[in-house]
Structure 1
Amino acid sequence: MWYLYAIVLLAGIANAIQPGQNGALAKGLPQPLTAGLVVGLGTFLTVLVAGLVSGRLALPTYEEAARIPWWAWFGGVLGGGIVATQLLVAQTVGAAAFTGLLVTAGVVTSIALDHFGWVGFEQHSANLPRILGGLLMIGGVALIARS
């Protein structure tokens, strides 16, 4: 299972690099949000190829789709919001502040999602070490964003 952690670490590295790439693309195009369409097309093609190569791509039946909670269909909207934020904000605030705020907000939100078992996550109590970790991240990103 260790390799899964390596994959997540690589995704974290990509998460730090992507805003700069997207920002450079946005600056080179007539309007910054046009870059979002390019990014979305790249995302679509990457997922399509990964699905075809792995054999893990199939459209759901109507019955399967009907069993999915309504809110589960809107993850792409959240992803689009993240990309739009990268295009419009990341280069202005800087890589460290942008990624630090993005990750810290994600960790603090994740603690709450785990604690209450929201949006499909298993329930994991927000115990003292988790809360302290979240607070330390907030303090760390505050130091990064100040400079």
Structure 2
Amino acid sequence: MIVLYGIALLAGIANAVQPGQSTQLAKSFGQPFAAGLVSMLVGTATMLLVGLVSGRLRVPSLQQALDVPWWAWFGGALGAGVILAQLFVAQRIGAAAFLGLLVTGGVIASIALDHFGLEGFAVHTAGPVRLAGGALMIVGVALVALF
């Protein structure tokens, strides 16, 4: 389990570093949308390479594709939205405020997803302690963003 927490921590670090890389790419190109496309293409190539090297990449059957819930097809669009936010917002508000808002928004949304068991997540009730944790995240990000 500790390895999984380590991987999640590294993903958080990558989440903090990626906006600077994306905006630098946009500055170098002079085109934020071209930078976003390059970022997503590099991500796609990375997923393909890791999938092939690990032997875990398989093309789903037509039936599997038809069985996917309609809303599950929009994950890539949400990923593009995150990259667009990086390109147009992160440099303006700063890395700490951007990532703080990104993570806090994610935690608040996750509390709701868990509470209602949405998108296939196991139900974890949004009790007082979890809600307090979400509130503390909001206070924390406000302090980071304002000072």
Aligned residue number for residue 139 of structure 1 = 139
Distance 2:26 2:92 in 1: 13
Aligned residue number for residue 111 of structure 1 = 111
1:90 equivalent in alignment to 2:90? yes
**Percent of matched pairs sharing the same residue:** 60
**Moved >6 Å (runs of 4+):** none
Distance 1:72 1:59 in 2: 17
Deviations along 1:18-46, whole A, 9 cap, x unmatched?
Answer: 00111111111121111001101110011
Distance 1:73 1:59 in 2: 15
Aligned residue number for residue 77 of structure 1 = 77
Distance 1:70 1:95 in 2: 34
Query: What does 1:61-76 align with in structure 2 at a 5 Å threshold?
Result: 61-76=61-76
1:16 equivalent in alignment to 2:19? no
Paired AA for residue 12 in structure 1:
G
Distance 1:69 1:122 in 2: 17
Distance 2:132 2:32 in 1: 38
Q: Which runs of 5+ in 1 are unaligned?
A: none
Paired AA for residue 120 in structure 2:
G
Distance 1:123 1:37 in 2: 36
Deviations along 1:93-123, whole A, 9 cap, x unmatched?
Answer: 0000000000000000000000001111111
Paired AA for residue 109 in structure 2:
T
- Kindly report the root-mean-square deviation, in angstroms, between the aligned alpha carbons of the 2 structures: 0.7
Aligned residue number for residue 37 of structure 1 = 37
Aligned residue number for residue 48 of structure 1 = 48
Paired AA for residue 90 in structure 2:
A
Once the two structures are TM-superposed, the CA of residue 68 in structure 1 deviates from its matched residue by 1.1
Aligned residue number for residue 3 of structure 2 = 3
Distance 2:19 2:111 in 1: 25
Give the total of aligned pairs: 147
Q: Which runs of 5+ in 2 are unaligned?
A: none
**2:57 counterpart SS class:** coil
Distance 2:123 2:87 in 1: 34
Q: Is the deviation greater in 134-143 or in 25-34?
A: 25-34
